Amino acid sequence: MSQAASKMKATTASHVAVSCVVAAVFLATGADAQWWRVGGSTATPSSGSSGSWGGSRQEGFTRPEELTNLILFRDAMRARGLYWQEATKNWHCGNESDPYQLAACNPCGNGAWGYWSHVGCRGDAIPETPWEFRVPGDGYVTDFHITDYKVTGEVPLEYMCPFERLRQFDMDGGWMTGQIPSEFHQCFPDLLELDLSFNNLTGVLPPEIGRLSKLHEFKIEAQSKDVTTGQQGVGGPIPDEFGGLTSLRWMRLHDNRLNGTIPDAMGNTAR
């Protein structure tokens, strides 16, 4: 196992431990009723309903473990500085030391985008329109869209890996540095969009990106010069493994330092 993967595994384990504590607080305060609100009232879970959570949910909700992971991610990113603080400025639950206020916290909200900026929690795809998803969803975070906030540091995969149902990872228009992580496929098997364009990333294209068989969009164009290393853009060839992107519809790689030819395996991608 790579050092990065080991670090993500350790981070995920700590998330699980904290999540158990938060879930215990929710149950101890009777706060589980927050997820059964129907039309402003509180309903009782129904034994005949579908899913492990049951009930008739017409309002959005956020699962306790997802709220825990969002708070951990928020706090870690805010420690990176002003731009992350600005991007997450409305990510709060009132008095978070009060278990009742914490229990009522609902970042996911009711629509395609949640009450917390840049976060979406959508349900299954609508069969007739596969690019549209049911809302409200099932309380899982499925979309991050933090764009043009000049967020800094390396791509924060280790803090986002617990959001295993993520479909959209969009952090373009930042000042992120370092290399593109190779573990996206381990964290987000259902990822549809990966957009890291207009940052300061360097290194090469990880061959492991080719394992994201559901990916529709991959964008890393226009990487600026990393002032700390003097390097500019992502270099090297397009890996043959990118032929595994069998659902790919859109790929943007321009304004980098790529070389070589387009692999024949890219003919396997969707057309």
- pLDDT tens digits, residue range 144-169? 999 999 999 999 999 999 999 999 99
CA-to-CA distance for 130 and 32, rounded, in angstroms? 32
Per-position pLDDT tens, the chain of length 271: 555 555 555 555 554 444 444 444 443 333 333 332 323 333 323 223 233 333 444 578 999 999 999 999 999 999 999 999 999 999 999 999 999 999 899 999 999 999 999 999 999 988 877 678 999 999 999 999 999 999 999 999 999 999 999 999 999 999 999 999 999 999 999 999 999 999 999 999 999 999 999 999 999 999 987 667 777 899 999 999 999 999 999 999 999 999 999 999 998 886 6
Tokens 């853009």 correspond to: 233
Type and span of the H or E element at 9: helix 3-28
- The pLDDT score that the predictor gives to residue 27 is 38
Per DSSP, the residues of 119-144 read EE---SEETTEEEEE-SS-SS---EE
- The pLDDT score that the predictor gives to residue 130 is 64
Kindly give the residue spans of alpha helices, DSSP state H, lying in 29-81: 64-78
- The pLDDT score that the predictor gives to residue 233 is 92
- The pLDDT score that the predictor gives to residue 8 is 58
Q: Are 250 and 219 in contact (CB under 8 A)?
A: yes
Question: What 8-state DSSP symbol labels residue 173?
Answer: S
Type and span of the H or E element at 43: none
Q: Decide: helix, strand or coil at residue 261.
A: coil
